[in-house]
Amino acid sequence: MREIKRLPESELEIMQIIWASPAPVSRMYIEEALQDVHPLAPTTILTLLTRLCEKGFLSLKKEGRTNLYEPLVQEKEYLAAESRSFLDKLFHGSVASFATALCDSGVTKEELEELRRLLEKGEL
């Protein structure tokens, strides 16, 4: 697995919009998606998009006066890297320690049963 840098919350928010949308995505589309949740100035969105391009998360294609962005890192790939990093940092890579903490966290029996079924199927 290639190394994927952890994104700051503001950049991750932009990526989540892009991952959930059909590619390519314009700045205006992102601005509209953020409007109800966390409105940002157009210049701030452009700055975040530029950073994401520089970090290799997005590609930029110009179409007239519009910049269109497509993900170069898929959401599943990012989540896998973040999960491994989380496991390594907090639990020293121990899945058993993570499972113990999960059980102690108030997770319901139904949720644990669902997790067990997923693990048995190999869908995780």
Q: What is the pLDDT of residues 54-66, one digit of tens each?
A: 999 999 999 999 9
* Cis bond before residue 22 (omega within 30° of 0): no
Yes or no: say if 16 and 78 are a contact pair by the CB < 8 Å rule: no
Tokens 């100035």 sit on residue? 41
| pLDDT of amino acid 123 | 57
Low-confidence ranges of the chain (pLDDT < 70): 1-2, 123-124
For residue 10, the surrounding DSSP H or E stretch is: helix 9-19
| pLDDT of amino acid 43 | 95
Full-model pTM: 0.81
| pLDDT of amino acid 115 | 85
**Residues 4, 68: Cα–Cα separation, whole Å:** 22
Collapsing DSSP to helix, strand or coil, 116 comes out as: helix
What burial class does residue 7 get, using C-beta atoms within 10 Å of its C-beta: 0-12 exposed, 13-18 middle, 19+ buried? buried
The total number of residues shown for the chain amounts to 124
